[in-house]
Amino acid sequence: MADDWIRISNGTLTAAINPLGAELSSLTDADGRELMTDADPRFWTGRAPLLFPVVGMTANGAIKVDGVAYPIAKHGFARRSVFSVIETSATRAVFALADDQATRAAYPFAFRLEVAFELRDVTLAIEVTVCNPADEPLPASFGFHPAFAWPLPYGQDRAAHRIAFEKDEPGALKVIAADGTIAATERPSPLDGRVLHLADDLFADDALVWAPVESQAVRYGAEGAPQLDIAFPDTPKLGIWTKPGAAYVCVEPWHGIADPEGYDGEYRDKPGVFEVPAHGEQRITMSVTLVK
């Protein structure tokens, strides 16, 4: 655990958050067993980046605001930005990122992004608040990207792990094009009823994308062992992703999505962008509960 990570614990769960990106970097149970990715550099060193102010790729690597193109990296800049630590206690930590000259070169708006982590019994609750200090509406997009251990540390085979959706998901899935944008084609759902049986070949062509997703929660793990309930009441889209062979699976609630393939419109008009009213805010939450 890095020295500058902020650690919170209630004796049942312990979380560690890296101020770089306000990234949840470790989540362990009462016995110290790690519930998140091993961040093996052969696959992916991310742990739980926060995606802001874009989710996924933009067409041409930029967003367009009032006809002007602003270059922006995949998933935005929050994950590579150092957040201020504005509150800490034994079981709660709050981080904040505000606009500056560097962010305005990619996203020409005033904003404040606050991220609160709080442990409540067997649940880690995460609340993101997108604040708009300006006199005009703020267009924004946001996504969570946590990577959970696959397999979880409870002795079950990797092949026994599954993700069970809360509701029926009858729709087809979006397809990620070679350039990372969303293709015009769709793919049939791989669900068995409400269950996704995890296997590497599901991810040979990148993430599985439900847009929209009907469920507001999923359960991840293997039957007969502790599992994780992952709730996302404020996000209308969901990505599930890994790299074949890696020891993690990402369950990614999104309030945004990559650009449609060939998109050339304004950032405000692109799918997945919401508007925060002048001097208003929008909260987006998720939680992870250890179920035994």
Q: What pLDDT digit, counting tens, does each position of 183-194 carry?
A: 999 999 999 999
On the question of pLDDT at 91 being above 90, the answer is yes
Residue with structure tokens 């009823």?
A: 193
Give yes or no for residue 70 having a pLDDT over 80.
Answer: yes
- Going along the chain from its start, the domains and CATH numbers come out as 6-291 (2.70.98.10)
Reported confidence tier of residue 57, pLDDT bands at 50, 70, 90: very high
Q: What percent of the chain has pLDDT over 70?
A: 100
Where does the pLDDT of residue 38 fall: very low under 50, low under 70, confident under 90, or very high at 90 and above?
very high
Cβ pair 97, 113 in contact under 8 A: yes
Q: How far is CA 291 from CA 148, 222, 229, in A?
A: 14, 11, 7
What's the Cα-to-Cα distance from 114 to each of 78, 109, 175, 283, rounded to whole Å? Answer: 11, 16, 31, 9
Check pLDDT > 70 for residue 237: yes
pLDDT at 15: 98
pLDDT grade for 2, boundaries at 50, 70 and 90: confident
Question: How many whole angstroms from its chain centre is CA 218?
Answer: 14
**What is residue 238's predicted lDDT score, i.e. its pLDDT?**
98
* pLDDT for position 50: 98
Q: Give the pLDDT of residue 23.
A: 98
Whole-angstrom CA distances from 23 to 93, 96, 109, 174 are 12, 12, 23, 27
Query: With the CA atoms of 79, 25, 232 and 145 taken in that order, what torsion angle do they form, in degrees rounded to the nearest 10?
Result: 40
- Confidence check: pLDDT of 277 > 90: yes
Return the pLDDT at 1: 67
> Taking 90 as the threshold, does the pLDDT of residue 3 lie above it?
no
Mean pLDDT across 277-282: 98
How large is the average pLDDT for residues 100-106?
98
Average of per-residue pLDDT values in the chain: 97
Q: Exposed, middle or buried by CB within 10 Å (0-12, 13-18, 19+), for 54?
A: buried
